[in-house]
Amino acid sequence: MSASHFPPSRRPGRRKPRSPKNYNRIRDILALLPETGLVSERQLARACGVSASQMSRIRRGECVPSCFFMWALAGALEARLGRAIDPRDLLNFDGDYPTICTRQFLGLPAEEA
């Protein structure tokens, strides 16, 4: 069978294009939530309109968060932190976060060295 008989996505030798690398701080933010006393992971999931299991999959990096989720997460964190946040502090594709560390982003003191 010649290559022209295969659909374009299944032609021999063709690879699926790579998705950009997903850098996100959601895992770090969720790990530090208990220290902030702001909200639990389950409450944050509810505020974002997702299930706790979906939040867990996002935290583990098993799926890339949707734009809707990121918008909802930014809004939920803004409400609890009492300030506007840059969504690039949550998720980006180059690993260059506007706020250097997650603790600073959440308004927590720096860890002792």
d(CA 66, CA 89): 15
**Is 2 a domain residue?**
no
**Is 90 a domain residue?**
yes
Question: Domain count of the chain?
Answer: 1
The residue assigned the tokens 């389950």 is 42
pLDDT in tens, 63-95: 877 888 888 999 999 999 999 999 889 888 888
Expressed in percent and rounded to 5, the helix, strand and coil fractions of the chain are 50, 5, 50
User: Would the pLDDT of 50 be above 60?
Assistant: yes
* Domain carrying residue 50: 20-105
pLDDT in tens, 23-33: 788 888 888 98
Q: What is the CATH number of the domain that holds 50?
A: 1.10.260.40
Question: What is the DSSP-derived secondary structure letter of residue 34?
Answer: H
The residue assigned the tokens 């980006």 is 92
Q: Whole-model pTM above 0.85?
A: no
